Amino acid sequence: GIQVEQSPPDLILQEGANSTLRCNFSDSVNNLQWFHQNPWGQLINLFYIPSGTKQNGRLSATTVATERYSLLYISSSQTTDSGVYFCAVDMRFGAGTRLTVKP
């Protein structure tokens, strides 16, 4: 089955900093989504992005399907951005990036 790898596994930022999270996958993709899992366990849908670039406020994402990777950009990070960010390719989740934003 498809393999999904996320990096870095952990990231600590000061409030206001920018960051880039990466998702590599091993096969062609039908569906790629980025999720934020908040401290209450909810999985919040950030982007549905099997290809191309999208932006939503301080967040943006790019998927280059031919090179089998996707990037999630977080700008001007806030403490509320803390949590685990998952990339899911088809029905396979990566191990996630745990982001901690310090005030």
Rounded Cα gap, residues 53 and 16, in angstroms: 23
Is 96 a binder of other proteins (CB under 8 A)?
yes
* Contacting other proteins within 46-65 (CB under 8 A): 48, 50
Is 15 a binder of other proteins (CB under 8 A)?
no
Nearest approach, Cβ of residue 93 and other proteins (Å): 4
Stretch that binds other proteins, among 16-24, 57-65, 72-80, 85-93 (CB under 8 A): 85-93
Nearest to other proteins of 76, 82 (CB atom): 82
Rounded Cα gap, residues 18 and 5, in angstroms: 21
Q: Which residues bind other proteins (CB under 8 A)?
A: 30-31, 33, 35, 41-43, 45, 48, 50, 86, 88, 90-96
